Structure 1
Amino acid sequence: MRTFEKSTKLDNVCYDVRGPVVDEAARMEEDGISILKLNIGNPAPFGFRAQDTIVQTMADNLRNTEGYSDSKGLLSARRAIQNYCRKKNIPGVGVNDIYTGNGVSELIVMVMQGLLNNGDEILMPSPDYPLWTGAANLAGGKPVHYICDEKSNWYPDLRDIRSKITSRTKGIVVINPNNPTGALYPREILEQIVEIAREHELIIFADEIYDRLVMDGKEHVSIASLAPDVFCITMNGLSKSHKIAGYRMGWMCLSGAKEKAKGYIEGLNMLSSMRLCSNVPSQAIVETALRDVDTPDEMILPGGRIYEQREFIYRALNDIPGITATKPEAAFYIFPKIDTERFHIRNDEQFCLDFLKAQQVLLVHGGGFNLSTPDHFRIVYLPCLEELKNATDKLAEFLSTYRQN
């Protein structure tokens, strides 16, 4: 009988849905064990709710959104996104330069499928949001990871980026604000990345899904706003800032030197048409959602849940012997470092599995984000303060005696 093995291209496609730690958590839940899940950036299970106006807009439009839309999306949605691009100073974005998607995830796969042939290279941050790496692998390309330096607030290492460009390099992915570190890149770093892309004629892929979840009075700068002469594809969406991850509403916009990428754009149009269209009821809420871009303020200003939970988790982690963490400035993730010598850790995935079994808390190991050293893990700090305190207390208790075999 013929058997089928998993393709190696599926390795590292997405840390959230596969792997021994997640599999063990599912098994434990089947046995009736309650698991505190600090592994997925999904606001709804932790009491975050969309504004009533957004939910009502979808309900009011259900009868009008039963059919397919244009493959790129409803004109009303794309016009609202176009206006948002203007507010972000992204130049020259017309309604036909905008594609809606079933979340940004679908669009990441689309842009990689359209760009990469076997052996083509694309620069990715390390640590990264691993769907970018997985999508590049599935397309037949070769993800090449550049260092983001923890000692420099997790900013991209520009020298390392330059050293990894070859004749096969097609583009560079910039995740800002960053998942998993919560870093926010300053304008001067972005300007230097643009200069590198300009010099080597690279496409810039900007993942900016967390651009409305920036704290401490900082400003998010869209890298495309600094690159009017470089072809850029900017990704964004509503899942995180408007607390509607399950609605699956994302978009991408093309800007800059579009005339240099005509063949690629034709391919994107074809791929967009092949899936007919994105979720039409979710498209209908875009105009309402983007009418007030200050919606997330209630979460990220002092006194807001995300802000206060960020403050707590940062202090609590750094109070645990053997753990240090850089304070995130955006999103709702923190990426602590663990003293591997102190705890004899050689396998970070095993560490997360051991912690799960002992304390029923689910984390993601740093290797899941294509980090080469086994000394980090990611915490999603969306749960309420009481749950976060419970989690950090359990981590401190676990590490007080833990030594990896």
Structure 2
Amino acid sequence: MSAYGSDRSERFDCDVLVIGGGIVGLSTAYAISRAAPGTRVVVLEKERGPARHQTGRNSGVIHSGIYYRPGSLKARYAVRGAAEMVKFCAEYGLPYEVTGKLIVATERTELPRLHALVQRGRENGIPVRELGPAQISEYEPRVRGLAAIHVGTTGVCDYKAVAAQLAEASRADIRYGAEVTAVDRRPWGVAVRTATGAVVRGRVLVNCAGLHCDRVARLAGDEPGMRIVPFRGEYYELARPELVRGLVYPVPDPAFPFLGVHLTRGIDGGVHVGPNAVPALGREGYGWSSVHPRELAGTLAWPGAWRIARRHWRYGAGELRRSVSKRAFTEAVRRLLPAVTEADLRRAPAGVRAQAVLRDGTLVDDFLIREATRTVHVLNAPSPAATASLPIGREVARRALAHLG
């Protein structure tokens, strides 16, 4: 018999209470329904629908896992998740396409990093083909480079549609417009109050709040040891999408978690160009005019934010320059696609990356999941979290169910 006695159904509204209706929270609910049918799950989402922030504001890429350190959660979950995401989309009739992508070196200084990516891809079990300039043109006639690699397992899909399907298939009680304002955690479970005054009681709490995950952790009485420092990803749309057949990326700088300005042909046939990564002035700061003073003050009060700025100011200056100058942004694109002009680039909606930063200024590189009493916190799940959402959801679900006992 449960330790909570025969009145369990009266004492609790659910077994697992999930905060956050993005793709990770919904994947967790979906995984619980598969692993433990009959487990009652409530998902609280502050917006009026699912996937309104990180999930619904990215370029829709199904990442291969080539960038990530062998053995890391990102590497394991991205490789596994890419195959599972394709299977999920096929099973539910959601739009997707396995396009492959090029990673292109345009300068000789990038060649060692490109070769390192080849080795990393092979260590992660990813099929990689090395290309010379003539072979680049076979895949992308308008793209120019000294060398490239082709990664065949990369694809694109519609993550908003995936999130909506996860919500339906999970059969969870998903409550929209339910912003969490207080958490009362006790040895027996948790009670959460929303902005409307409603109280929801669960036996286990799962924090998948994304841009607000550190705040929710502190509401629960846990010090996460990190803060979310938001970075805005600024995109353009290509007015001449015929210039690009698929996905084209530069060689990334391993010192940063960003992949550089790239070109992505989405599932709708349009081509997104970006993102340019700049500090956001709020957790949901999707433009320079979106200023949230209290959140900005919280970011500036975190020592790690200042240490990032001191350590990477040169890189940041370049990003800021491309943010305020369309000409500078165009120059960055022309390194890969010389035919692009300023007139070819049209502003597109921006996204915000929830980047976990430690007190010493370290950018958390891997997914970060921590546990406390009857609680599981997902504290760092930026890209490729959408790609990896199904295995991440299973891992979070496993931990949550273990707390049920």
TM-score range, shorter chain: under 0.3
TM-score, L = length of structure 2 = 0.26
TM-score, L = length of structure 1 = 0.26
| More strand by percentage | 2
